[in-house]
Structure 1
Amino acid sequence: MPLTLSLNTAAKHVQFVLSRDGVMLCAQTWLTRNDGTELLATALDHACRRLGCAARDIERVACVAGPGSFTGIRLALSTAAGLARANGARQAGLDFMQCLAATVLANPGERVGVLIPAQRGWMYSADYVADEAGLPRLQERIVLLPEPGGIDDLDALSHTVHGDLIVPDYLVGAAVTTHRAFFEVAFPLGTRFLPARYDIPSPAALLALTEAVDWTSDATLHDVEPLYMRDCDAVGNLDHIARERGEDPAHAHAELQRLLSAGL
């Protein structure tokens, strides 16, 4: 049976799960002060050696593709791409917010609201409903909302895709932890608020969503596309950066587009 790596570096943690045929062999979660690049390689190598295997034995990689830290997303995707080229491993992308929703272990039909920080002053919001297998399925789309500054912001929050305030069975995510007092007023009846330990996916959730991937699909033969919900700060500041370097901003934008469209 193929050795499978599930990988999440989209937030402040480095997480990975090694499994075979749906059975978890090893799971590690590390809080990092930097991008986790050196930690991931060392920890993964050590885990493989303890299991009597090596990174070259990994045949499938499911990595969290976003939303989240740009640096963290690149770390996960480049690791998957490297294993694909070295081992011929198949690749699949996971949604960070769906991973959080899966951590809740909602019953079929229950609704899970996920809120995580975006850029300063904003947050991502997504609404999931658990299917018959208990896996969360995205309803509509991920949306960008202003972070609440106070109870008066309730009206702004209520302008969702359907125009009404969605009342979930569960509410989870780092933005919920940060603004819990606000959300306790916004969702006063029936909503269960998950504590801060649910702000990162559980190993079991990563494994469950990895096992839900169709690994026979041709899509797993290609590199995973990042789930970027916005341009990174460097792109937003590209004109200023170019001028500081004495370069033409138009040339900088043209070069960026060339690099973005170039193959690996």
Structure 2
Amino acid sequence: MKILALETSAKSVSAAVAEDGVILAAAYQNNGLTHSRTLMPLVDSMLCNASLTLDDIDLIAVAHGPGSFTGLRIGVSAAKGLAWAKGLPCCGVSTLEAMARGVSDFDGLIVCAMDARRQQIYHALFRSENGQLTRLCDDCAIGLEELVDHLRRLPQPKLVVGDGAQLCYDHLTAAGISCRLASPDHRFQNAAGAALAAADMARTGHTCTAQELQPVYLRLSQAERERLAKGLSLTE
């Protein structure tokens, strides 16, 4: 099964194709241009360079959150469009789990962290052993002090990954918690991890239709928070 994965949850944009747990092609861009402008040309170029077309793809995967609300909408909309056009199944992959896939050769705890702003991070925790990941908590938006309190009770070796890794590493080490900071190439979201995670999901039947695929935001948008602050309904 060939899987095309998209990743637009943060500043960078990437795409990858995987088959049987092997990355066949990957492309990455972080030049400040909008995802709506760069994503599809990036996908087309990657497929062309790999001598592939959409007719070769069996499943469309996308990192569907958490992350930038605008970025997630662009990635999910693109995935839905590609899947609808070819009648393909989809996989919505946790952005945080996709990060962990990229460092699953590390034995210990993988602390996934995305900068969520407002003194919070998007976080998930995984145990990695012999290349196998076990999820230890659901994706969540938490404060740094809460993360410190949680990790202080866990003695295993820790690796911090994601675009919030440096922020978390500085905070954790200042609190006396021993951890390692992932290399720079593992501090940005990447579609390769989403492709590998989607392969496992597909094997266990966890796919969806294009219509069912939706972004996962974890918290309200700024506009929604403002409506609630004014006492207005989110559905009006």
TM range (shorter): 0.7 to 0.9
Whichever residue aligns with residue 121 of structure 2, its letter is M
Q: What is the TM-score with the length of structure 1 in the denominator?
A: 0.75
- Structure 2: gaps of 5 or more residues: none
**Residue identity (%):** 22
Whichever residue aligns with residue 253 of structure 1, its letter is L
Matched, 1:209 2:209: no
> Which residues of 2 match residues 57-136 of structure 1 at below 5 A?
57-107=56-106, 110-130=108-128, 134-136=131-133
| C-alpha spacing 1:6/1:239, structure 2 compared with 1 (3 Å) | same
Separation in 1 of the partners of 2:143 and 2:51? 48
Number of positions where the alignment pairs a residue of Structure 1 with one of Structure 2: 234
Per-residue CA distance 1:7-47 (angstroms, 9 max, x = gap):
11111111100234444332101014243112111121223
Per-residue CA distance 1:102-148 (angstroms, 9 max, x = gap):
2223356x21112221132211232111255x23222132333324x
Separation in 2 of the partners of 1:131 and 1:221? 32
Indicate the RMSD between aligned Cα atoms, in angstroms: 2.8
Deviation at residue 57 of structure 1 after TM alignment? 4.2
SS of 1:214's partner is: helix
Deviation at residue 68 of structure 1 after TM alignment? 0.5
What is the aligned partner in structure 1 of residue 167 from structure 2? 178
Per-residue CA distance 1:62-94 (angstroms, 9 max, x = gap):
110111011111111111111221101110011
| C-alpha spacing 1:72/1:112, structure 2 compared with 1 (3 Å) | same
- Structure 1: gaps of 5 or more residues: 148-152, 244-248, 256-264
Please, which moves more after superposition, 40-49 or 209-218? 209-218
| C-alpha spacing 1:56/1:82, structure 2 compared with 1 (3 Å) | farther
| C-alpha spacing 1:131/1:76, structure 2 compared with 1 (3 Å) | farther
Per-residue CA distance 1:39-64 (angstroms, 9 max, x = gap):
11112122333334433543311110
Whichever residue aligns with residue 235 of structure 1, its letter is E
Separation in 2 of the partners of 1:216 and 1:128? 19
Please, which moves more after superposition, 113-122 or 214-223? 214-223
Task: Give the structure, 1 or 2, with the largest relative contact order (CA under 8 Å, sep 6 or more).
Answer: 2
| C-alpha spacing 1:53/1:198, structure 2 compared with 1 (3 Å) | closer
| C-alpha spacing 1:188/1:139, structure 2 compared with 1 (3 Å) | closer
